[in-house]
Chains A and B, each alone.
Chain A
Amino acid sequence: MAALELLGGGFLAAFQFWAFMTIVTGLLVGVVAGALPGISFVNAMAMALPFTYVMEPTQSMLFLGGIYVGGVFGGSISAILINVPGTPASLPATWDGYPMTKRGEAKRALTIAVTASAVGGLVSALVLTFLSAPFASFALKFSQPEFFAATLLGLVSVIAIAKDQPVITMVSLLLGIAIGTVGVDPLYGQARFSFGVPEMESGIRFVVVMIGLFAIGEVIDLLATDRDLRPKKTGGKAIGAKFRDILNVKGAIARGTGIGCLIGMIPGAGATPGAVIAYGIEKQVSKRGSEFGTGVEEGLAAPEAAKNATTGAAMVPLLTLGIPGSAATAIMLAAMMLHGVSPGPLLFIMDPTMVYTIFAAMIIANILMIFAGIGVAQLFSTLMRTPPAILAAFIIVLSVVGAFGVRNNIFDVYVCLAFGVLGWGMKRVGFPSAPLVLGVILGPLAERYFLTSMANFKQDWTVFFTRPISATILGFALIFILWSLAPGLKRALRRQE
């Protein structure tokens, strides 16, 4: 009851004119930044940090929270429309969202995505409001071996994406992880695979790989096939989503939301593993699992719900324990510290108004996201009506600028172009690029957690199996692999008979 009263007070504070406008501004900045490849919402949050100096502590959190919520969704706009994920977590949106665009159903795909994201985010905000305390004590039990196990679960979930080709999928994933090892290692500080090139010592950034593999390959195909991405019209109206379409994916949204909430609360896991695992599970559960990758609505809705469901959940360890669960929440922590606010259990006692205003703002931001998302998506969708030659030219320029913007370094542009050529070649021979990208994103995390676990536990590798939570997560990973491979193995056995 006390929580409800406090939440009511939080809503009153969040609906004050300037507080509300701060949420709306943050949301719009986040959606636009997320939708532009290369300018991730985390970058936008980092750039926005100095602006929060002049704000009140609560207002600064509303602003950054708005960018966070909007940005996590925004990445899917470019993923769906031009096959370039604006954020790593939007990677699954390219698998089923972009094929819908190719069928002329961009508007429908965007409506499904924004609705699923909003539902996922809203439920997550409610979880943050009412279940922070019990989950905080659970999150405290996580250490390096558990983080490694969670990252490994994210990595193996890729098996479900291409169960008919598990060997090639594994090669692609391992190649991605190997690319992720380029540069100074996380524990010993020694440069690997730098080949005498100083820029290589800083490593190869996943954003650069992602832009190169997806954007350039796609643009070249657009050019070589004279494909038209303009929305197709039926009876004078562009194909949009009907309410029935949303109802049809309600199960996928519910599952994605649940998975996102659970994974979001694991510090360090974040939106990308959440979205990929949700996609993998949905592929197994859905009756249309074998059609995934061709523009199936469930394949779009589940990861969309999951990635936004991680937003509120990732703030649980931040607000209750002061542990940032992702890069975005780390920036929020920095903003709180700058204002002299220390997150943790004491914050709930010392300043409950601030805490519940943040909770209310997260709920409001997720509801407003439907309008902001549709508005920005409409703008981007209008851009799709431009002739393919113009569209392709600007995608290339945006991609190159995006690669440059990662570190303001021309070397990243060259790396991006090299991966562009590689991505085009991979597409031509049918070699899957998604596992490679996932390997580049999660590989360095897995390595860091693995090495620090080993160092902390006297090089005892059994620690991953003797700690209950780590062992349980690894058990889930094993079950997931077997579950994903079972249909293919059954088919192979039937063929043998």
Chain B
Amino acid sequence: MASIQNKEQYRTPRTGGRLPPGLGLLLPTLLPLGLLVMAMILPGFMFESDQTASTIGLGPAAWPEAILMAMAVFCVLWIARDVWALGAAGRRPTLSFPVEDDHYHFGKALIGLLLIIAYGWSLPVFGFAVTTTIFIMIWCLFGGLRNVLVLIPVTVIGTIGLMWLFMGLALMPLPRGYGVFDNFSIWLLRATGIY
């Protein structure tokens, strides 16, 4: 929140892997345009093609349409402000990349995002126990933790602790995985006294 309030914060991001020149300006400027297009076309996709909106009273479409219309109006104001700002010398677009206290490693951030997405995707396939153990281990290694004497206990005890907390205490049916992974999960849950 504070980052957008400080006008001094605008700059080309200082990163471990820099963004291409101009992209720092272009991305924040394109955002309102994208949101405007979204606000304009989304009402057409509100209902399934075989459905028609109820016509009793205001109907189910009234509120979302009003909200999207209001959003479109504010996007136009935003674009107008940015067009005016970019036209006037010394002005900046409304949004800007925030200054980081330290170097920002975009490459590391993107790999991190991919790891998190892979974790979420593989959770139902391999089950909570296996996926979480592998994820914590890879993340810690990627984060710079190399001490095996710390890494293995943290991974194993951490995963079992979380299983006990969520599956044992909170009775949450976390995914057990498919096939052999399901059998392994059941064995582990029995071995740890959760089942």
Contacts and interface: CB of A to CB of B under 8 A. Distances in A.
B117 to A, nearest CB: 6
A293 B5 contact: yes
Interface in A238-285: none
B194 interface: no
Nearest to A444: B63
Contacts, number: 220
Interface string A411-424: 00110110011001
Interface in B66-104: 67-68, 70-71, 74-75, 77-78, 81, 94-98, 100-104
Given A181-B67, A430-B28, A220 B112 contact: yes
Contacts of A195: 45
B45 A408 contact: no
Given A225-B100, A428-B97, A171 B74 contact: yes
A389 to B, nearest CB: 3
A95 B48 CA distance: 39
B148 interface: no
A167 interface: yes
B3 interface: yes
Given A174-B67, A192-B61, A162 B5 contact: yes
B37 interface: no
Given A223-B143, A400-B120, A408-B173, A190 B53 contact: yes
Contacts of A447: 63
B68 A454 contact: no
B181 interface: no
Contacts of A99: 2
Contacts of A167: 74, 77-78, 81, 94
18 contacts: A47-B170, A165-B94, A167-B77, A167-B94, A170-B74, A178-B39, A188-B56, A192-B60, A223-B143, A224-B16, A225-B101, A293-B5, A387-B145, A390-B136, A390-B154, A413-B120, A424-B109, A450-B63
Interface of A: 39, 47, 95, 99, 161-162, 164-165, 167-168, 170-171, 174-175, 177-178, 181, 185, 187-188, 190-196, 216, 219-221, 223-227, 290, 292-294, 387-390, 392-394, 396-398, 400-401, 404-405, 408, 410, 413-414, 416-417, 420-421, 424, 427-432, 434, 443, 447, 450-451, 454-455, 459
